[in-house]
Structure 1
Amino acid sequence: MQTYPECDPLPRRPPTADEPVIVNLRHLPPDVRVPVHRHDWAQLAYPLRGAMRLSAAGMVWLAPALRAVWIPPQIEHEVVVLGEVELRTVYIAPEVAPLSLSSCAVIEVSDLMRALFEALSDTQPDSADAPQRRQQLTALLLTEIRRAPPLSLGLPMPQDRRLHALCQALIAQPASPLTLAEWAARVGASERTLARGFQRELRMSFAAWRQQLRLAHALDGISRGRPLGEVASELGYASQPAFSAMFKRAFGVPPGQFLRQHRA
């Protein structure tokens, strides 16, 4: 895993009073890490292609293509690029922020929102009414972001070093079939201690945390149009029906229907 260099050849513009929403185009090298940093403004990071993992405020957020991560101002965060990623970073002045200024989130990106991102990325005023058009596009985009359905793709990260080591290992290998008892032997704690730690620190069981992780990876694979059987196998499911049943319980529709909607 390489660290993204400080020098960025693509210019970025911060939001201003006249332009409170700025859409920047980003092309990041594959499989790199952007070190911990923060901004004076809010940010919506939207992978158009590929996926990204963001760590902030004791949580890990996974955003596949056509989903966006909301990052409030002054929140320290680290970004890991998963594969080759093309994304839009939308900088939003805090005074017009459409979402929480204290917590991150992953939201679904609608067709209209995608079109507004692209329209606002054209920063060249091409007519006398360009400022008015930008103002109208900005207002509509903020409304769309405010109305966007949130997705449960955030994973709480524990403070306990043994739990943290377990969770980091699963993030690196979500298909791992190891049971909690087997993980206990690896991280130097009893199964009972780990189970209590998950409930105490993360308010969920080991199985629920692992399923949440796999759901996020499943969305990434499905969004890329990969075969369902391949995605299910890579995430440790013995069969595609078992994977589809888990997916439907979480998202309300089976993965095939989700994929058709995504392609449409």
Structure 2
Amino acid sequence: MPRQRTAYDPYPKYTPTPVEPVMVHLRVPPADGVIRWHTHAWGQLACPRKGSIRVSVPGMMWIVPRYRAVWIPPGIEHEVAMLGEVEFHVMYVEPRALSLPLDACTVIEVSPLMRELVNTLADDSVHQEKRRHAAMTLLVEEIRAAPSLPLGLPLPTERRLRGLCVAMMEDPGSEKTLVEWAPLVGASARTLARLFQTELQTSFGTWRRQLRLARAIDLIGRGVPLTDVATQVGYANPSAFTTMFRNALGFPPSYLVSGAGNAVADDA
């Protein structure tokens, strides 16, 4: 059954200016809440500090765990869904203050220093203008230096391919091959393989791996043990899951469990 979601319209919305290019707000939405499709005149960085969020734009989706942030340029229609219980910071950004793209979304890593600066600027009790200005200036520099992460999942529009992708999203651990999926969506395996290339510029195997990565990030954010996460996304061998995760993101899944901002030694 589809998850029931409560519409959430967050306030306040203090907008950025050239003088104060980043305005930070803490959001505590209802569990499984959703901010329906909308646009902003400013850029936006959404950064969970508890749980994970799913950000959708036409043709693309991102699962964003804690201590990562998704950049949404001004004018891009988007929807933000909470995956369970979530708390997140949102940074409204004067887009000319950053070097992030103005025509595409991306996910960046949030350093420990960036987290502290965001916490400071979200604190309504911090009114000292000189301190706020210094924190804001340093935050802009930290955002500019943040590495990006490949967490996006492209979504198709073609009816048969979209039916397949939706079915796979409902069961990311499925071991069905493209040949086995084909009769369930009314297309041959060859046609589906071609559609993956023409619609999404990727292969069936690569798209499924990216889906599993997104699902794994969601489950880790919910506190599911890593051995169970591996099983739910189709890896009977936890070490194979860790290898896939590390190859995709450059760090093991235990990095997200620790939330420490530094890669941890164990690969579980």
TM-score under structure 2 length normalisation: 0.88
The alignment status of 1:133 with 2:131, answered yes or no, reads yes
Q: CA–CA distance in 2 between the matches of 1:247 and 1:43?
A: 27
Q: CA–CA distance in 2 between the matches of 1:217 and 1:71?
A: 21
What amino acid does structure 2 have at the position aligned with 1:38?
T
The alignment status of 1:235 with 2:233, answered yes or no, reads yes
Q: Secondary structure at the match of 1:159?
A: coil
What amino acid does structure 2 have at the position aligned with 1:5?
A
Contact 2:126 2:132 in 1 (8 A): no
Q: CA–CA distance in 2 between the matches of 1:17 and 1:142?
A: 12
Q: Secondary structure at the match of 1:13?
A: coil
The alignment status of 1:32 with 2:30, answered yes or no, reads no
**Counterpart residue number, 1:180:** 178
Q: CA–CA distance in 2 between the matches of 1:231 and 1:7?
A: 32
Contact 2:8 2:33 in 1 (8 A): no
- Counterpart among 152, 156, 165 of residue 158 in structure 1: 156
What amino acid does structure 2 have at the position aligned with 1:201?
E
Contact 1:2 1:33 in 2 (8 A): no
Unaligned ranges ≥5, structure 1: none
Q: CA–CA distance in 2 between the matches of 1:119 and 1:79?
A: 24
Q: CA–CA distance in 2 between the matches of 1:191 and 1:234?
A: 25
What amino acid does structure 2 have at the position aligned with 1:119?
T
What amino acid does structure 2 have at the position aligned with 1:219?
I
Could you give the per-residue CA deviations for residues 87-128 of structure 1, whole angstroms, max 9, x where no partner exists? 0111001231331111000111110010010011123454xx
Cα distance, 1:258 vs structure 2: 6.3
Q: CA–CA distance in 1 between the matches of 2:170 and 2:158?
A: 18
Could you give the per-residue CA deviations for residues 38-82 of structure 1, whole angstroms, max 9, x where no partner exists? 111100001111111111141111101111110000100112211
Could you give the per-residue CA deviations for residues 158-186 of structure 1, whole angstroms, max 9, x where no partner exists? 22111112222322332222221222111
Cα distance, 1:261 vs structure 2: 7.0
After superposition, where does 1:78-227 map in structure 2 within 5 Å? 78-126=79-127, 130-223=128-221, 226-227=224-225
Cα distance, 1:7 vs structure 2: 5.2
Unaligned ranges ≥5, structure 2: 263-268
Q: Secondary structure at the match of 2:208?
A: helix
**Counterpart residue number, 1:64:** 65
Q: Secondary structure at the match of 2:28?
A: strand
Contact 1:14 1:91 in 2 (8 A): yes
Give the percent of matched residue pairs that are identical in Structure 1 and Structure 2.
50
Cα distance, 1:3 vs structure 2: 4.6
Q: Secondary structure at the match of 2:205?
A: helix
Q: CA–CA distance in 1 between the matches of 2:175 and 2:34?
A: 27
Q: Which moved more, 1:203-212 or 1:214-223?
A: 214-223
Q: CA–CA distance in 2 between the matches of 1:125 and 1:118?
A: 10
Q: CA–CA distance in 1 between the matches of 2:41 and 2:168?
A: 33
Q: Secondary structure at the match of 2:164?
A: helix
The alignment status of 1:53 with 2:51, answered yes or no, reads no
Q: CA–CA distance in 2 between the matches of 1:165 and 1:259?
A: 33
Contact 1:25 1:89 in 2 (8 A): yes
The count of aligned residue pairs is: 260
Q: Secondary structure at the match of 1:162?
A: helix
Contact 1:23 1:88 in 2 (8 A): yes
Contact 1:98 1:142 in 2 (8 A): no
Q: CA–CA distance in 2 between the matches of 1:134 and 1:263?
A: 24
Cα distance, 1:225 vs structure 2: 5.0
Could you give the per-residue CA deviations for residues 189-243 of structure 1, whole angstroms, max 9, x where no partner exists? 1110000111122121111011011112223434555422111011111221221
Cα distance change, pair 157–116 in 1 and its aligned pair in 2 (3 A): same
Q: CA–CA distance in 1 between the matches of 2:212 and 2:8?
A: 32
Q: CA–CA distance in 2 between the matches of 1:182 and 1:13?
A: 51
Cα distance change, pair 81–255 in 1 and its aligned pair in 2 (3 A): closer
Q: Secondary structure at the match of 1:28?
A: coil
Q: CA–CA distance in 2 between the matches of 1:51 and 1:7?
A: 18
